[in-house]
Structure 1
Amino acid sequence: MLMQHAEPAADAGVETQTDVRAYAWVVFALTVGLLLSDYMSRQVLNAVFPMLKATWGLSDTQLGSLSSVVALMVGVLTFPLSVLADRWGRVKSIILMAAMWSLATLGCAISTNYGEMLFARAFVGIGEAAYGSVGIAVVLSIFPVRLRSTLTAAFMAGGAFGSVMGMAIGGAVAAHLGWRSAFGAMAVLGFVLVIVYRIMVTEKRLAPLQPAIVHDIKAANLGMRMTFRALMKGLFSTRSIVCAYIGSGFHLLVPAALWAWMPSFLNRYYGMAPAKAAMIAALFVMVTGVGMVVCGNLTDRISKNAREKKWLTAIVFCLACFVLLALAFRMPAGIVQLLLIGAGMFFSAGATGPSGAMVANLTPPSIHASAFATLTLANNLLGLAPAAILTGIVADRIGLLGALQLVPFAPLAAAIVFAIGKRHYAGDLDRVCALRDAAARGM
């Protein structure tokens, strides 16, 4: 009984109308489309580094700062902007954010010096800061609980696909029309998607797809805003949700490190030219994105009738990544090593979908954007941000291969954290659902 009312009941009604379900998929496609634009605008810079260096005589430190300032803005502003979006309106916030990063990307195209470019890139980061958390909150609010892992993984995989597209398309445009046109193309794509999203997606059209409890909570919030203390209590209410945040952050250290260092690894240990190394490395990025989607869908299928199995799949994916990559980086260079690396990369972000589903299940719908902002913050602080620089620091001491041999221990640590969370999940979920039901009756 508890299992039945704890998760599926909240989304009753979403599956009863086939026309509504069709619209839900339209919203999902448009929201993922904006995520692709997000990462294309962010990563197109990497494709034009040599041109910017030649045009303005920039140092490598200055080039790096143009990339890092985006990550800095995202890390600092994700949480506060997501909280504001929960209160101001998620659809309006998405439109404003996408318009801002598109306008800032256009600003990059017309920049005349390093200072102007740095300023424009900072606003790219401000616009993108809360999009991931707010976008996935919108998506999860209109789909059944049983699809949460699949949808979260598919949505987050958009970052990997967008990164590849940004570098590939941006590089092709820059080669034929110049680096300014590369930024301009990304900006135009963003503006087109903003206009389409504004026309197609509104809070009013989303309302019939959302469970009744969401509307009750929203109505209550109009008269009484949640205090910061209450928000923190909702975000960190149980041990299992803290484990979901930490485990997710740890396990993403692997893809972040390998995305950054695979071109160098292929260049140094396989003798590939930089262009070929970058192309092969992009394939590994694609494998990671495909793995996220497949692992998320597999999680939903396995955990359909057993809620704790979300944790089990996350643990298995992390252990598979650890074993495959630990073996791969201890083998001699060759096709077998590359195949094992590819297999490890397939599972390297596999826990993304399960982690997102855990967070959604363990927090009230009214603060889902804030909850995913917290997950994004953990992902950045524990995995994405330190991965490349920590690997580089170790590589300076024991070589790049030695550093990459240590990277797989991150998902092993994540598996341990997920195992701890699994022990507490059933009881924690029952308590969260009981509190949610009590709040709904009190309204």
Structure 2
Amino acid sequence: MNKTKLGIKKEPALGHKKLLVLGYVWPEPNSSAAGSHMLSLIQFFLNQGYQITYASPAQRGEHKIDLTQLGVEEVPIQLNSCSFDELLITLNPDTVLFDRFMLEEQFGWRVTKHCPNAIKILDTEDLHCLRQARQAAFKRHQKHKDRPFTLDDLHCDVAKREIAAIFRCDLTLVISDYEIDLLQEHFKVPEQLLFHCPFMLEMNTHSASGIDYQDRQYFISIGNFRHEPNWDAVLWLKQSIWPLIRQQLPKAELHIYGAYPPPKATQLHNPKQGFLVKGWAEDAKQVMENAKVCLAPLRFGAGIKGKLAEAMWCGTPNVTTNLGMEGMHMGKPWPGYITELTHSIDLKQHAKDFAVKAVELYQNQTSWQQYQSLGYELLIANFDKELIQQKLASRLNSIGLGLIKHRNDNFIGQMLQHHHLKSTQYMSQWIEAKNKLI
């Protein structure tokens, strides 16, 4: 992957600070918003003068970028292996970044044991407990017409694991302001352990799209097929929403893009219906910029949506649900139409509402142009890389200068760290010993 194409510049090292990133996956910025966000964080630490090692136990995907082009060392690691201890001792990092709570669970105790003075940062990407609880509630309601999602659904094992990991770390990066509020108000996580870190976009390089309304022809939906909310959105489009749109716009096309489409997705491809499953887009911005309207009918999920940020960047207004725009508008007018998805509304009626708004936006040039301008304004207000990175650098510097007090003020974290160190350490060592006998 060409690093110039990614809009990333390799910066010279400014110091000798060391960062170890423990990745849940190898970054694929052209496949998912999580990959793009991780790449932004890597660029931030490079600009701060860090020497970076990216380590992951995951298999390398076909769309993985080559981090070595940026001067980042890539190291494959194993679960439940003392070889990771040797890596820690050799690197002796000043900072460790865990990519999602599962990596903190697996490797956090080893970091605490061998690098007790390293600042530990957790990047949530989205709150997994919120996404999974919403998905379970939606599926339950769809099947049994049971009660809707409530905050009581968050009192599950995933939440207990995820919140514990947040307390054990010195700082947690949270991508959504809604999730910041949820963590503070519902789970009582102290403000000093959290940092609101949405998408960091190069707004100083952004320019308005040169492709006008009349030159755009199709609807678009885009998202990694391995992400369950995206797959559910595609199915809902196919089964309920798109037929209603085609009744009013019989020549319209919907182009479906996304990495790793399974056979069950490609089988939905139907040119006669204008439902075109395109799969992987090598240049997502190009296909987005040529689309007239972005459709994101998300019925569950968490975090914020890369597809909608990309649509705004490309000057493509959108139609989405209240869950789709959650955590993104931050009080600013939304650059498109929103349908309110609640369990009190019939899904057939919601599909009709979504289709009506999609057709209206597709046909109304005046509204379309107004929403395009609002999209540019929202990006500048909420996702300016320079402003976010200045705040993040300041927070990390403050934590580093007062790390002992910062940790002493987090007694719950110390308590969880103590028990986690014992229980997880012994379980991991037992698995390691067992593996040696196989």
The one of the two structures with greater contact order (alpha-carbon pairs below 8 A, sep at least 6) is 1
More strand by share: 2
Which structure dedicates a bigger proportion of its chain to helix? 1
